[in-house]
């Protein structure tokens, strides 16, 4: 089987615990790209949090793409231009902001270029997200928000025990109407029902004329499940959560052990 497209999650997969791409992983990705394989970064991060890695991996080109906000946006890797966007409305924002307050967890919402929180006691996880990705963080009470805004995603966030308790109280009807998944023990991501990494990979593959059985995906968290289920070859990181390991066809080493490089080397004959 010939692999023509590789979709790679970033945090916990491409990146080690220090937010680095190790030399071996970088080398494997560049080799794959040099022989004509499309390498797509598929992440929950905004584009601003992806750009430096696209450049380091020589993927910042007009004919390259990336999946951001867990599939809500598909963007040109060179300039961030959106090829596809599936967004939440301002009414969605209002609903989930209130629901987060009712559930007593912190909340944040993303536009394409900014992150907003309505919590005066800004969560340490919100601060960490802004630091990690570089996206500007704004405090805005709900009444001061621009009602014309649309959002790639909104998030609930808190320590795992608090967040999991809140998740258990989200109405079933809401779980059915939106794409809702955890991207880490601390983050619950909420998107339009049509948005996930799987639909993002499918969009890019079809745009490039690449068949599903020519696609490989690598991930580690719940927000990677959709793209792993779409790909013909699905690979879980050694540090993946159990639900990811259960559905993946193969398990590679951890993100501290060059797991992405090993997967590419084994399946792409580089």
- Which are the catalytic amino acids? 9
DSSP 89: -
Beta-carbon neighbour count of residue 13 at 10 Å?
29
DSSP 121: S
Contact 44, 223 (CB under 8 A): yes
Give, rounded to a whole angstrom, the gap between the first and last alpha carbons of the chain.
Answer: 14
203: CB partners within 8 A, 6+ apart: 74, 83, 84
Which 3 state secondary structure label does DSSP give 7? strand
Phi-psi region of 222 (alpha: psi -120 to 50; beta: other; left: phi over 0): alpha
């Amino acid at each position: 089987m010939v692999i023509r497209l590789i979709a790679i999650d970033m945090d916990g997969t491409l990146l080690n615990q220090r937010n680095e791409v190790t030399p071996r992983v970088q080398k494997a990705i560049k080799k794959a790209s040099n022989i004509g394989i499309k390498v797509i970064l598929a992440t929950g991060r905004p584009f601003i949090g992806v750009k430096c890695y696209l450049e380091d991996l020589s993927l910042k080109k007009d004919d390259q793409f990336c999946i951001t906000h867990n599939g809500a946006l598909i963007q040109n890797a060179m300039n961030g231009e959106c090829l596809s966007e599936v967004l939440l409305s301002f009414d969605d924002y209002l609903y989930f902001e209130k629901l987060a307050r009712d559930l007593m967890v912190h909340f944040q919402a993303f536009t394409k270029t900014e992150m907003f929180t309505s919590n005066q006691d800004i969560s340490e996880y919100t601060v960490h997200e802004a630091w990690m990705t570089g996206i500007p963080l704004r405090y805005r009470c709900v009444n001061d928000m621009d009602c014309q805004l649309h959002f790639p995603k909104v998030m609930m966030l808190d320590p795992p025990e608090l967040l999991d308790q809140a998740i258990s109280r989200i109405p079933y009807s809401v779980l059915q109407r939106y794409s809702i998944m955890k991207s880490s023990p601390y983050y619950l991501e909420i998107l339009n029902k049509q948005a996930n990494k799987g639909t993002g990979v499918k969009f890019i593959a079809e745009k490039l004329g690449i068949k599903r059985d020519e696609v490989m995906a690598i991930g580690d968290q719940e927000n990677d499940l959709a793209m792993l289920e779409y790909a013909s070859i699905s690979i879980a990181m050694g540090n993946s959560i159990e639900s990811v390991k259960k559905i993946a066809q193969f398990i590679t080493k951890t993100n501290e052990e060059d797991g992405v490089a090993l997967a590419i080397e084994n399946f792409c004959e580089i």
